[in-house]
Amino acid sequence: MLKDRRNALWRPSRRLFLQGSAAAATALAAPQIARAQNKELYINSWGGPWLEAAQANLFDPFTAETGIKITTVSPVSFAKLAAQVRTGVYEFDVTTLGGGDIVRANQAGIIEDLDSPYEGGLFENGVASHAFATLMAWRTDAGWEETPQSWADFWDVEKFPGARSLQRYAARVLPIALLADGVAPEDLYPLDIERAFAKLDEIKEHIRVWWTGGSQSTQILRDGEVDMIGIWHGRYFEAEDAGAPVDFTWNQAEIDRAYWVVAKDTPNMEAAKMFVEFATSPEPLAGFVSQANYGALNPAANEFVADAAKPRMPTSPDNYPQVFEQDMSNWGGDPEEVSMRFDEWLAS
């Protein structure tokens, strides 16, 4: 339907990114499930609050409507997605990708062509589901005289001493570094990659943990292992709801869009595409984002979102003016090459 709406700035190829990747080697060695077309759909899951909301609002209702059982597979892994497409042995049929990874996946030719189930919902062969934000949070018992307000404060280790944490994910960290260096949100893209890495050099020794999983980020904030963190907003609220002495700001929070994708040539193609359409339809999506504190990307879902759920959503009218969105179509470099450089930088 809307395949012609795909961003023409990125053209998919069959290039794969498994060479020399330890993560990919791990994925290839992991137990896999060879399956024919059947009445069971395997979905790659984030776990935690995401899974709870997806189970209640997407997975169980889809099964009730279609008779197709859903089994979840964790953790979410780009390397596994690439490995199973390369080998033809599939562990899951459907997964979600953020803006950075979906560009890489389309370049690699490891996701299926999709039609958009709603107007404007397709980007790089992924159907937009929900928005989430990486925001700055901190411990209120850190002993500072003032409250941090921006990513520049995150970098200010004299005014706000203590251990820091950021996600080990270049596409989200580089824009944050540029904001800390004084770049205005409207001037971020295309990213000045060299300037971003130079700014990261300044904070590197103060990053105690480069977190890789949402539950890990919640735990180190809740347990006081770090004083300040860049964390997904849903995971922050998990720590707050657990009673941890924490606070946060929506100012300069970074919105990323999550997209449902279907693994290339999966044997459960028909059921996988049915699920993507169902999961991004208005009422199921509204239930999912309301429970998990995300922002719905299908505009028709918003009429089913209660006002009480909106304060924790990055896309709400009160919060959205304070945040910025990633712009992967004008990113400023090859996401895969920058990701590899980032890993090398961390190891140096």
24 or 297, greater pLDDT: 297
Query: Mean per-residue pLDDT for 22-39?
Result: 41
335 or 308, greater pLDDT: 308
Give percent of the chain above pLDDT 70: 89
Q: How would you class 319 by CB atoms within 10 Å of its CB: exposed for 0-12, middle for 13-18, buried for 19 or more? A: buried
Q: How would you class 285 by CB atoms within 10 Å of its CB: exposed for 0-12, middle for 13-18, buried for 19 or more? A: buried
> What mean pLDDT value characterizes the chain?
88
Q: What is the pLDDT, as a whole number, of residue 13?
A: 30
Q: What is the pLDDT, as a whole number, of residue 35?
A: 43
pLDDT at 82 over 70: yes
Cα–Cα dist 122/277, whole Å: 11
Q: Note the residue count of the chain.
A: 348
335 or 152, greater pLDDT: 152
pTM: 0.79
Comparing 3-131+256-323 with 132-255+332-347, is the CATH topology the same? yes
Query: Mean per-residue pLDDT for 101-121?
Result: 93
CATH topology of domain 132-255+332-347: D-Maltodextrin-Binding Protein; domain 2 (3.40.190)
When mean pLDDT is compared across 30-34, 64-68, 239-243, the lowest value belongs to: 30-34
Q: pLDDT tens for residues 157-194?
A: 999 999 999 999 999 999 999 999 999 999 999 999 99
Q: What is the pLDDT, as a whole number, of residue 100?
A: 82
For domain 3-131+256-323, say whether CATH 3.40.190.10 is its number.
Answer: yes
Query: Mean per-residue pLDDT for 257-266?
Result: 96
Cα–Cα dist 231/276, whole Å: 27
Cα–Cα dist 148/71, whole Å: 42
pLDDT at 263 over 50: yes
Return the structure tokens found at 114.
Answer: 């999709």
> What is the CB-side half-sphere exposure of residue 296 using CA atoms within 13 A?
25
Cα–Cα dist 84/59, whole Å: 23
Give percent of the chain above pLDDT 90: 81
Of the ranges 30-39, 46-55, 261-270, 325-334, which is most confident? 261-270
pLDDT at 33 over 60: no
Return the structure tokens found at 132.
Answer: 């989430």
pLDDT at 3 over 70: no
pLDDT at 45 over 80: yes
Pairing of strands 126-139, 295-296: antiparallel
Cα–Cα dist 348/346, whole Å: 6
22 or 301, greater pLDDT: 301
Q: What is the pLDDT, as a whole number, of residue 18?
A: 30
Cα angle 294, 146, 212; round to 5: 40
Q: What is the pLDDT, as a whole number, of residue 27?
A: 35
Domain ranges of the chain: 3-131+256-323, 132-255+332-347
Q: What is the pLDDT, as a whole number, of residue 134?
A: 97
Q: What is the pLDDT, as a whole number, of residue 336?
A: 84
SS3 per-residue string spanning the chain = CCHHHCCCCCCCCCCCCCCCCHHHHHHHHCCCCCCCCCCEEEEECCCHHHHHHHHHHHHHHHHHHHCCEEEEECCCCHHHHHHHHHHCCCCCCEEEECHHHHHHHHHHCCECCCCCCCCCCEECCEEEEEEEEEEEEEECCCCCCCCCCCHHHHHCCCCCCCCEEEECCHHHHHHHHHHHCCCCHHHCCCCCHHHHHHHHHHHHHHEEEEECCHHHHHHHHHCCCCCEEEEEHHHHHHHHHCCCCEEEEEEEEEEEEEEEEEECCCCCHHHHHHHHHHHCCHHHHHHHHHHHCCEECCHHHHHHCCHHHHHHCCCCCCCHHHCEECCHHHCCCCHHHHHHHHHHHHHC
Query: Mean per-residue pLDDT for 280-291?
Result: 97
Q: pLDDT tens for residues 193-202?
A: 999 999 999 9
Q: What is the pLDDT, as a whole number, of residue 22?
A: 34
Q: What is the pLDDT, as a whole number, of residue 76?
A: 86
At 251, the pLDDT band (50, 70, 90 cuts) reads very high
